[in-house]
Structure 1
Amino acid sequence: MQRTGIVNYHVHKPERQAFQLDAGGIVGNLISPELFPTQVNLTDMRTSGRPLRFAPDCVEFLNAPSAIRDFSGDQWKRTCEHELAQLLTAKINVREVVIFDHTLRVDDPKATRKPARNVHSDYSADGARQRLEDLLGAERAAE
């Protein structure tokens, strides 16, 4: 039986479409642009018999065991950042890793940040450059 899922696409409009997070200064208050729910077919590639082709698109899945055993509270963040920096340095030989925005999404009606169910990209090229400048300052971001 074919498994399906629902994703939400933005309805194209002349004005800018964006989600307003924590709208009105209220944590967790989300105002959404108009969305078009679309049913898509899902495939578990582990059992499909077809090869994954992530390399051309720069996506890779790795098995990276962690020392973290408890994600309650904030104690896990430092270990997570260290482990992720080590992994990225070893795998893609980066010079520096800057980790920001620890967003844990939980599929729970009481959660502050629920799973992202909308087709989206967190940053445009211009938005990514601006975010880098905001985090590091213009001079360091230009390096």
Structure 2
Amino acid sequence: MSTTTLTQAPAPVSTFNSTPTPTTAAAPTHPPHGDVPTVINFHPPTTIDGAPPYLIVEDLQSNFSTIPHPVTIHDLRGLEADFNLDKQAFQPVLDVPSTEKDFTDDAKIEREYYPEITAILKKHVPGIEEVVIFDHTVRRAGPDAKRPPVMRAHIDQSVPASYQRIRRHLPAERAEEVIAAGTRVRIINVWRPIGGPVVDSPLGCADSRTVEEADVVPVRHILPDREGSTLGVKFREGQKWWYWSGMRDEEVLLIKCFDTDTVVGGGAEGRRGRTPHSAFVHPGTPAEKKGGRESIEVRCLVIG
């Protein structure tokens, strides 16, 4: 796409990252818990201009909107042992407190928090040889937040973008060696609440086995210095969504975005290789708690 085309693209649609209003209310609880009827914003059948979907990341300009759809999101609290990265493609981990509390200094996060993430992954994900952390995002809600919770169903990387990540974040010779040898590589997002328990805007994850390849759509991500791609997720009956109610600061959720292993980790059509996820409105959120969710996600190349 030329620069001219980008400047002539339609203005961003307000529903792209909008907060949906659930159609069914529930009695207020603190923190909200239990299975919940709500809505999730899904990828549309077509784009506004008929071109392949894209997002200009710097100003959130895109050629598509999202479509809110009612869903029931099931509570996995108490069922943690039933979930793992090779089955649903996400995995709750209990009792992993952090010495970092503020998450306001990026250098300190990299220096002190990154080693904690590496230790968590090596303890809870079998077979790891190496962990390469390539970035993190701190999300805080509110009208002036630069990185608020993402209120749309998506997967962080497409397959081509995942291979770009391997080549971008490993030394060139090592990257080609890993790819040529067929060494298992996963991209895992380690998600933790800050100032939990999570009351507002909890994170929902779809059981990847229930999401067909026809449900996911590549979305170009255009940055000032490069281009990548994510996957938008379309609604389909039969998808099953889960959340971990009242997540506390000493709990993390491992979210798998990519897996080169198509037998164990990918399964039929790679459906265990990636986790659709989205923040959502829990109708049981007390009014005084709305807009208060904070979290950090750390994205990692996991080799082996």
> Aligned in 2, Cα 1:21/1:81: closer, same or farther, shift over 3 Å?
same
Identity %: 30
Report whether the alignment pairs 1:41 with 2:82. Answer: no
Give the gaps of 5 or more residues in structure 2.
1-25, 27-34, 179-304
Q: Given that residues 4 and 40 in structure 1 are in contact (C-alpha distance below 8 angstroms), is that contact kept between their aligned partners in structure 2?
A: yes
In the alignment of these two chains, the number of paired residues is: 135
Residue of 121, 127, 131 corresponding to 1:88: 121
Pick which of 11-20 and 128-137 moved more. Answer: 11-20
Q: C-alpha distance in 2, partners of 1:5/1:89?
A: 35
TM-score, normalised with respect to structure 2: 0.40
TM-score normalised according to structure 1 size: 0.79
Q: Which residue, 133, 140, 143 being the options, matches 1:99? A: 133
Q: Kindly provide the CA deviation profile for residues 31-72 of structure 1, in whole angstroms up to 9, marking residues without a partner as x.
A: 24221111222332326xx67632322422112111112222
Which residue of the partner structure matches residue 162 of structure 2? 128
In the TM superposition, 1:70-81 aligns within 5 A as 70-74=102-106, 75-81=108-114
Higher strand share: 2
Q: Relative contact order (C-alpha < 8 Å, sep 6+): which is higher?
A: 2
In structure 2, relative to structure 1, the CA distance for the partners of 1:52 and 1:39 (3 Å cut) is farther
Confirm or deny: 8 A CA contact 2:98 2:116 kept in the other structure: yes
Q: Encode CA deviations 1:68-123: one digit per residue, 9 max, x unaligned.
A: 12222222332211001112122224111111221112211111111111111111
1:30 to 60, 64, 72: 60
Deviation of 1:137 (Å): 4.3
Change in CA separation of 1:36 and 1:115 when aligned onto 2, cut-off 3 Å: same
CA RMSD of aligned residues (A): 2.3
The one-letter amino acid of 1:132's match is I
Structure 1 stretch displaced more, 4-13 or 118-127? 4-13
Runs of 4 or more consecutive aligned structure 1 residues displaced over 3 Å after TM superposition: 50-53
Q: Distance in 1 between matches of 2:143 and 2:171?
A: 37
Q: Is the 8 A contact 2:80 2:92 kept in 1?
A: no
> Do the aligned residues in 2 keep the contact of 1:107 with 1:115 (CA within 8 Å)?
yes
1:115 maps to what in 2?
A: 149
Contact 2:142–2:148 (8 Å) recurs in 1: yes
Partners of 2:80 and 2:105 lie apart in 1 by: 39
- When you count helix as a share of all residues, which structure comes out higher? 1
